[in-house]
Amino acid sequence: MKTTIRIRVTLLVLALSVFATLPQVASASPLSVDGILGYHSVRPGETLFCLGRAYKVSPWAIASQNGIGWMNAIYAGQVLAIPNVAWANAPAGPTCVRQFDTQNPPPVCRATYTIAFGDTLIGIARRFGVDVFTLAAKNNVYNLNLIFAGHSLCIP
């Protein structure tokens, strides 16, 4: 009985010491929206490091921008904001497929749309043939379900 308790306590101390020595992502507030290159929808098998190599952006900056406390805590379907923080000495390894071009930013507004009562952001995006996340990013909409009638949207 005493041996079992000692083993459990030893394992607990060992686990806590391992977690204490893991590299931590900065817990500062997210970077400004002006420093966002674009948005990337995570696909199965992608990591912050392969995203960092694809966009030449620090994976720690991506984690910090998106409030990710553990570097392996991303999942397929998650949309990540890619900040404009250069990663100069990226090690070799797998590189993700880019979902947007960082060299040629999207054009300004091709149209302006005033939101009507009952409109949804997804419906507006479909109507104009625009990706809903691009539309949200261009108009600084952080909650896709929260838009207001009477506001104008820039259609990229």
pLDDT digits (tens, 9 = 90+) for 7-51: 887 777 776 666 555 544 433 344 444 578 888 988 898 999 999
Please state which CATH number belongs to domain 28-100. Answer: 3.10.350.10
For tokens 């490091």, the residue is 49
pLDDT value of residue 13: 72
pLDDT value of residue 102: 65
Domains of the chain by residue range: 28-100, 111-155
Please state which CATH number belongs to domain 111-155. Answer: 3.10.350.10
pLDDT value of residue 121: 92
Q: What is the pTM of this model?
A: 0.47
pLDDT value of residue 116: 93
Instruction: Classify each residue of 133-146 as buried b or exposed e, where b means 16 or more C-beta atoms within 10 Å of its C-beta.
Output: bbbbbbbebeeeee
Q: How many CB atoms lie within 10 A of CB 155?
A: 19
Hey, do 28-100 and 111-155 end up sharing a CATH topology, with the first three levels equal? yes
pLDDT value of residue 24: 45
Between 107 and 9, where is the model more confident? Answer: 9
pLDDT digits (tens, 9 = 90+) for 50-59: 999 988 899 9
Q: Which amino acid is at 62?
A: I
CA distance 134 to 148: 18
Backbone phi, psi, residue 25, to 5° = -85, 140
pLDDT digits (tens, 9 = 90+) for 59-106: 999 999 999 988 888 988 888 989 988 888 888 888 888 888 766 555
Q: How confident is the model at residue 125 (pLDDT cuts 50, 70, 90)?
A: very high
